[in-house]
Each structure stands twice: as structure tokens, then as C-alpha cells.
Amino acid sequence: MEKNSTPNKKIFILEEEKTLNWNEVHAAFEKNFGKEVYSSWLKNIALIKEYNDYLVLGVPTRFIRDWIVSRYLDKVLEQVKYFKQTLNRIEFKILEDSKSVSPGHYKEELGKITEIKDSILNYNRLNPNLNFNNFIEGSSNKIALTSSKKVCEQLSRYNPLYIYGGVGLGKTHLLNAIGLELQEKNNVMFISAERFMYHFIKSIKKNDMVNFKDFFRKSSVFIIDDIQFIRGKEGLQEEFFHTFNSLIEKSSQIIISADRAPTKLDRVQERIKSRLSGGLIVDIDIPDINLKNKIINKRIEDIQNQFKENCNLSQDVINFISNECKTNIRELIGVLNRVIAFSRIHKKNLSVSECKNILKDVFNQTKVITVDKIQNVVSNFFNIPLSEMLSQRRSRPLARPRQIAMYLAKKLTTRSLPEIGRRFANRDHTTVIHAVKTITRLSEKDDEMKKNINNIKDLLIEN
């Protein structure tokens, strides 16, 4: 492995095998995840117990743990591995009643640490609030909704059912609804591809693959969310392929979601793409005004029932919100909650201009794009560890993303060429110039490159 680029660090690790300097790890988190992510999610991670091959970390709440695990786990592990190579997994313990946790100083006996099986079960838990009853139909999701319901009526009719669409459009909600509907009579397994991988790796390290295989293959309904996560991960694809085949063989129903169509899953084996396309493929589109208004009205109704008080928003305000939240239903609901909270506190009907005022910072956020952020987004986009992208290795799968990141840093930040070079593991400014030239040239003549660059720019603005 060529992950450790600083030889001194290696010697340091060998000499002091056991003790991580937790403050140092925190500093690395802050540097590599960026201030915002760090202070929102990672700041309170405490080191509870350190073993040679794994760490027990404490976080304040279940919610924070789930958030970290679902979004940052790979990277957190990667970062701690940098300081201690022998580490290969992380367990989380929830310190629910601790008010504040200062890094490294948490003393409590090691109670019930989530073990493999428990934690699979934990993540298998369906959310009772995401059901068919409160999923609102619109022209953008009608086919996906109907197909989901049909699957529940008659198993194996469409196998697999593959639902795809952009962020916040209701994929997880639908998958969860299917799970709820079927769980009474079937052995339902509901897991995100990321969690699947987490358990996969954990089982390999624990030499417990038999259990892992059994566990997933005994389900009669297997629901896997965000399958795009397997892109570029060969071992995981191999395991997924076999799980998939043995489930289909015994006529288990499989339901899959992704952010793109099967044919668009780059760096996924052809045989898997063909399996994924073997049943019914449906997409969820961007919601129209009509659907957005319906969702808002339903939400207002729910709140009125719940709090037994009026919460009137004028049609103008509703239209305003629908218009501003173009694509993402999750965002729409977030904005609506804010407006409703305000109007309840102040007990008044809001005008559109008051509404604008409340939401000013939501809509007019001037996004600051930093080199850090570009590096993170690009390495995520190409599914390569940040450390590899910044390393000295020159293989194409690393060099191209690196060049793209340099190109974007030049285009989207005010940093000078030498500054950018320094941020890329101390490279010379001529390397940056070369990268900018190469990517400019490629993006002019290569459609794939042009599309990738645009997608990455979208991600940078979105995040």
C-alpha cells in the first residue's frame, strides 16, 4: 500500500504502536473535512478505547452517529489509519446522557457496544413515518409509486425493481414504504449500499464471512438504497453480485435505488449492470409546481392536526416557496418548516416579502468554494481516497481527477498557481499550469470530460 507518503510518520507509528494522539487526529479531521462539517458533526467525537485494529469512538447522539456513519465513515477511517495503519474498523458508542464530551477525556465503562449483528439490525430498522400513505403522488413520481405498490401486491413480478432519480426526490421514502408494507409477511432486509460495504469489510476483517453471507441471503425481500456507492469498488461488487444471484435464485424480491440509470453506472461491472436492468427500471423526475404545492398543503394540514392550531400560509407564500425550491423535496420541506415555525412563533400570517426575509440566508447564500472543498468533492466524485488523489502516484485514474481538481481550483477560487500547487502536496506551479491546460483542452473535445466537470461544479454549488 502506498497510502503513507511521509516516511517519518511510519517510523513514528512503529515506535509508538498503541497510542493515538487524539488531538492530532481531530486537527486532521478539521483540516480534511473542512470547518463546517467538522464543527457540525465531528468535533465531539471522543476516543473511548483504542485497540490495535479498531477504535471505539463516542458520539453524543444516535442521530450524529447515523449521520457520520452514513456519510463520513470511510473517510474517518482513512484519516485515523493515517496515524495508525493497523486500524481497520471503528465502532461507535452513543453517549446519550453526556452533556459535552471533550475529545479524549471520556471516562465511562465500556457498556454495550454495538456488535455486528446488532448494528445490522439497527440499520435495518424501517422508519414508520416514510410510508405509502404520506407519499404524495405527482406526475414526476407516479410510475415509480405505482410500480412500488405493484411489487408489494405481487412479489417477483418485477425483479429487481430499480428506482432512480436525483437527490431528495423520494427514493428512500419509497423503498422504506415498500419495506413497511412487506415486513409483516416477509423477511425484509433494508440497507444502504454504504452500510452493506461497512459490514462486508467488517466481516472480512473478523473472518466472519459465513455469517455475513447467511445474514443477507436469508432475506426474502432485499432492499438496497443508493447502489451507486459500489462504483469503483471491485471487492464489494463481487460480493454484491453473488448476493444478488443467490437471492434471485431463491426468488427473493430485490428492490434497488440509485441516483442514475443502470447504464450510467460507470466503473460497475457489466454483468452487474445487466443484472440490475433485468427487471423493471423506473425513474423519479424533478417535481412540478403542482406536486410541490400538494406536499406543502399536506404538511400544513398535518401540523394543524398535530398542534390543533391554525397555521395559514397564503397561496402567494406557498407559490413562492414552490418556486424557489426548484428540484429538491427535502429542501422544500426544510424551507417550509422554517416558515411555519416563524409564523407560529409570531402568530401571524406572513407576506411574501417577510417570507423572503426569513429565507434570505437560505436562498442567497454566497457559496464559498475552497480548494479543500474542491479536493473533497472531486475525490468523492471519482470514488478515490483523498490521500491517493494528492499522492505522488501518476496512474491515470489518480492523475486525471487530480488535474481536474487543480483546474477547478484555478477556475473557481482566487488562489494563485503556486498556492494551488502547495495545496496539492507541494507541487510546482508548472504542474498546475499543465493540469489547467490539459483539462481545458480535454473538456473542449471530450463530452464525457465536459459532463463530469459540469457535474462536479453542480456538486460544489449544491453542497
Residues near ligand ADP (CB under 6 A):
130, 134-136, 141, 165, 167-173, 295, 329-330, 333
Joined together, the cell numbers standing for residue 316 give 402567494
Asked whether the beta carbons of 139 and 300 are under 8 A apart, the reply is no
- Residue 206 CA to residue 223 CA, distance in Å, equals 25
Residue 177 interacts with which of ligand ADP, Mg ion, none, CB < 5 to 8 Å by class: none
In whole angstroms, the minimum distance from the beta carbon of 108 to ligand ADP comes to 34
452 binds Mg ion (CB under 5 A): no
Of all residues in the chain, what percent are helix, strand and coil, respectively (each to 5)?
A: 55, 10, 35
**What is the CA 400 to chain-centroid distance, rounded?**
23
Please say which residue, 333 or 358, places its beta carbon nearer to ligand ADP: 333
DSSP 171: H
Contacts of 126 (CB under 8 A, 6+ apart): 176, 179, 180, 183, 188, 190
Min CB(164)–ligand ADP separation in Å? 9
C-alpha radius of gyration, the chain, whole number: 24
Which listed option, ligand ADP, Mg ion, none, makes contact with residue 33 (CB within 5 to 8 Å by class)? Answer: none
Sites for Mg ion among residues 141-200 (CB under 5 A): 171-172
* Nearest residue to 223 (alpha-carbon basis) of 184, 260, 262, 253: 253
CB of 41 to ligand ADP, least distance (A): 18
Residues 6+ apart with CB under 8 A from 396: none
Least distance to ligand ADP from the beta carbon of 259, Å? 8
Instruction: Tell me the C-alpha distance between 329 and 335, whole Å.
Output: 10
Query: How many residues lie near Mg ion (CB under 5 A)?
Result: 2
Amino acid identity for residue 351 in this structure: S
| From ligand ADP, Mg ion, none, interface partner of 330 (C-beta below 5 to 8 A by class) | ligand ADP
- Which of Mg ion, ligand ADP, none is residue 329 near (CB under 5 to 8 Å by kind)? ligand ADP
CB of 169 to Mg ion, least distance (A): 9
Laid out side by side, the sheet with 253-258 consists of 188-192, 221-225, 253-258, 161-164, 280-283
Query: Could you tell me the smallest distance in angstroms from the CB atom of residue 159 to ligand ADP?
Result: 21
Q: Which is nearer to ligand ADP, 114 or 297 (CB)?
A: 297
Using the minimum distance from each CB to Mg ion, give the nearer residue, 121 or 167: 167
Residue 141 interaction partner, one of Mg ion, ligand ADP, none, beta carbon < 5-8 Å per kind: ligand ADP
Q: How far is the CB of 295 from ligand ADP (least distance, A)?
A: 5
C-beta of 91 vs 225, nearer to ligand ADP: 225
Which CB, 127 or 312, lies closer to Mg ion? Answer: 127
Which does residue 191 touch among ligand ADP, Mg ion, none (CB within 5 to 8 A, set by kind)? none
The DSSP result for 381-428, as a single string, is: HTT--HHHHHSS---HHHHHHHHHHHHHHHHHS---HHHHHHHTTS--
Residue of closest CB approach to ligand ADP: 170
Contact footprint for Mg ion (CB under 5 A): 171-172
